[in-house]
Amino acid sequence: MRRLLVSGSILALLLTCAKTVTAQAGNPALAPLESMYPDLESFYIDLHQTPELSLHEEKTSAKVADRLRKLGYEVTTGVGGTGVVAILKNGKGPTVFVRADMDALPVEERTGLPYASKVTAKNDAGATVHVMHACGHDFHMTSLVGAAALLARAKDSWRGTLFLIGQPGEEGGGGASKMLKDGLFTRFPKPDFAISLHDKASEPAGKLVVTPGWVFANVDSVDVTIYGRGGHGAYPHTTVDPVVIAARTVVALQTLVGRENNPFDPAVVTVGSIHGGLKHNIIPDEVKLQITVRSFKDDVRKRLLDGIARVAKAEAEAAGAAKEPSVVVIETTPATFNDPALAKRLSAVFSRSFGAENVMEGQAVMGGEDFSEYGRAGVPAVQFEVGAVEAGKYADSKKNGTPLPSLHSSEFAPDRGPTIRRGVSALTVAALELLGKP
């Protein structure tokens, strides 16, 4: 009996997932999607096969700009580096900002897809690396272009200004802040609303996930260099051993979360890399730590960063080091907060358009997203997520515990058809909800 019930639940899941790609609630603005889909799929495959690293999206941005220009948008390129801005004015009404990120990751693709990326490129350090859209930014761009086409065709049903961007450098490149510093909200109309989507590697294709409030965390990358006095491993008493200082520092850093932080305020301090020395019997002069720090609240963030510097310096002083450690924050992304009222509004329109069973409320995670910068610039903003897992694989994972490839995995790829259709549809109905009515 239990086996029959499990099979029945999986069948129900498959049927639900099938409905997600076809249910359009009779919205006439979405009617052209099926005829457009083959061209969108070709665009997606081309983007997937030709990824570019953060802040080097020259060819990618040109492709996005060309598509939007041909749809009748007023396009500006080179904003914040390789950023693309596309404006479509249609009378008096709200300005709705829609963002898609464009950069790929230094990952070697192992999906086995016939259109898998084989691209290699030089990274900023000069090393040759494989490049892959392992986070779905190719899907994000395709959804933006598809929604742009549907909205341009449906100009009779809305009033206002569409403000679309292709953003560079989301993967640690500070692309959002670069575009803002280049006058994104001063050279162009400041939006009334900002929206974006992101694929989700843990939900079935077509499922929509909207999280009110905190969505993604503050992300800070910290480099710590601990200085000692090197020497022979047989005579440690003649040295100041930075390896031992580093070991004590790594352990002590955990008290910043475990003993100094309110347990109701999420926080993470992870030492992801430790490097020092070249040989068994040589005590090195220095050891380097690379630390990722995650939080939501700004005061928690400051306390963690201040605490890292305090602990590192105290451990060095306790060991008699002659030189203070170097503590440098090299990358930073502020936490993403979804405007609760806007999130509620989008959840409602998604439920009406695609069925309440295909819309769920999400939970905050400790990953990072620089879409946060637009909300911090004073615009009510929401980033929602679109399930991207093939229904059968999702069902197998639920039944048998089979792991699903995560974002940034060399094996991750969205279930192309249903994910693209839902992404295009969701961006379109979200924009129509926020734009003015004729």
Collapsing DSSP to helix, strand or coil, 239 comes out as: coil
Tell me, letter by letter, the H, E, C secondary structure of 332-366: EECCEEECHHHHHHHHHHHHHHHCHHHEEECCCCC
272: exposed, middle or buried (Cβ count in 10 Å: 0-12, 13-18, 19+): exposed
CA neighbor of 233 nearest in space, from 275, 286, 287, 279: 279
Q: Are strands 128-130 and 120-122 parallel, antiparallel or unpaired?
A: antiparallel
Burial label for 140, CB within 10 Å (0-12, 13-18, 19+), is buried
CB under 8 Å to 326, separation ≥6 — which residues?
A: 223, 224, 225, 227
The edge-to-edge listing of strands for the beta sheet with 74-79 is: 74-79, 83-90, 160-167, 95-101, 193-204, 381-389, 208-210, 359-361
| 361 is known as an active-site residue | no
Residue tagged active-site, from 101, 103, 286, 390: 103
Q: What angle do CA 209, 212, 214 make, to 5 degrees?
A: 105
Listed in sequence order, the residues at least 6 apart from 423 whose beta carbon sits closer than 8 Å to its beta carbon are 139, 140, 142, 143, 146, 197, 199, 386
Question: How many CA atoms lie within 13 Å of 188's alpha carbon, on the beta-carbon side?
Answer: 28
What is the sign of the dihedral through the CA atoms of 73, 75, 80 and 82? positive
CA 326 – CA 324 distance, rounded (Å): 7
Pairing of strands 359-361, 74-79: unpaired
The one catalytic residue among 52, 109, 138, 170: 170
Please indicate whether residue 171 is annotated as part of the active site: no
Q: Which residues are catalytic?
A: 103, 170
